[in-house]
Amino acid sequence: MREGETVILVRPRFEEPVTPTDFGVLHEDEAMVVVDKPAGLPVHPSATYHRNTLTFLLAQRYPERTPHLAHRLDRETSGALVCARTLEDERRLKRAFEDRRVDKSYLAIVEGRLPADEGRVDLPLGRPDEGLHLLMEVREDGAPARTRYAVAARAPEHTLVALFPETGRQHQLRVHMAALGHPIVGDKLYGPEGPRPFLEYVDGGGEMTEELTERLGHERQALHAHRLTLSHPRTDEPMELESPLAPDLRELWASVGGRLEA
């Protein structure tokens, strides 16, 4: 380029993938908002999503004092997500998550029948030396990662399991269940085919085909942030917040012959 030149860049209009635009609220007060996040809604802006994100929707719903995320969930994961109403509340909540003073439990539908009713996975995790940069794997030299689990219900060829992460590594629950030989239904990265479904999904422009959905067993990973136990950021009052199992996962569980208690 030379001084004085004008460069004009012409590109197609950016169109974001369609996402859910409505979310429930499990709790709301002057310090915090606990969102019931639907599956498919990203929490943060990215190269693919800008307006179709939870942060943008929060700004639209609460324009005078937009809540800040205190932690995060994957786009495909549904359930309870804590947001702070002020910067001081955000600092206190984030510190509580970092210090492991927040107990989290998830519900997942996994392939096969877990042999034990409960157990603990203690397998360190790290990034592979080659391949997709977003993958995690079990590595002897990885960071400590521990997950407790308890069977919630059984179906003929699937298990509904409660997962309790004791550490917070990326994709920890998904990798640990896959390491047990019981990957989460619908997981595009850690299912029986490895990351192949994820690559097909990306190459297809982020659209789920019927063939891919049939292979995976569900159009998204069957993982739900079910319950949070924490102290209120201002009063230290103990709180337990619960998000009911998402409707699509209730339908999935019924479709594989599972039953839920009333």
**pTM (2 decimals)?**
0.90
259 part of a folded domain: no
Domain of residue 73 covers 24-254
**How far apart are alpha carbons 71 and 96 in whole angstroms?**
10
* Residue 55 in tokens: 């942060």
Strand ranges in 48-123 using DSSP code E only, listed in sequence order = 68-69, 78-84, 103-111, 118-122
153 part of a folded domain: yes
> Please, which residues bridge with residue 93 across strands?
none
CA terminus-to-terminus distance, the chain: 69
4 part of a folded domain: no
Query: What domain count does the chain have?
Result: 1
**How far apart are alpha carbons 247 and 10 in whole angstroms?**
43
**How far apart are alpha carbons 114 and 216 in whole angstroms?**
19
The helix/strand count (H/E) of the chain reads as: 6, 12
Sequential pLDDT tens for the chain (262 residues): 889 999 988 877 667 777 888 999 999 999 999 999 999 999 977 767 777 899 999 999 999 888 999 999 999 999 999 999 999 999 999 999 999 999 999 999 999 999 999 999 999 999 998 878 889 999 999 999 999 999 999 999 999 999 999 999 999 999 999 999 999 999 999 999 999 999 998 888 788 899 999 999 999 999 999 999 999 999 999 999 999 999 999 999 999 999 887 5
141 included as an active-site residue: no
- DSSP of 69-87, one letter per residue? ESS---TT-EEEEEEESSH
Which residue in the list 74, 89, 236, 248 is annotated as catalytic?
74
- Do residues 34 and 24 touch, judged by C-beta distance below 8 A? no
1 part of a folded domain: no
Q: At 134, which CATH number?
A: 3.30.2350.10
Closest C-alpha among 116, 145, 140, 118 to residue 129 = 140
182 part of a folded domain: yes
